[in-house]
Amino acid sequence: MSRSREIDNRTLGCTLQRVKTIPISDLRTRIAEVIDDVQASDEPTIVMQRSRPAAYIVNPEHFERDQAELRSLRRALFLTEVREAEAEYVAGDAKRYDDVEELLDELRG
Secondary structure in 3-state letters for the chain: CCHHHHHHHHHHHHHCCCCEEEEHHHHHHHHHHHHHHHHCCCCCEEEEECCEEEEEECCHHHHHHHHHHHHHHHHHHHHHHHHHHHHHHHHCCCCCCCCHHHHHHHHHC
pLDDT digits (tens, 9 = 90+) for 10-42: 544 444 557 899 999 999 999 999 999 999 988
Q: Is the pLDDT of residue 4 over 60?
A: no
In this prediction the pTM is: 0.59
Domain boundaries, given as residue ranges, for the chain: 18-58, 59-109
- CATH architecture of the domain formed by 18-58: 3-Layer(aba) Sandwich (3.40)
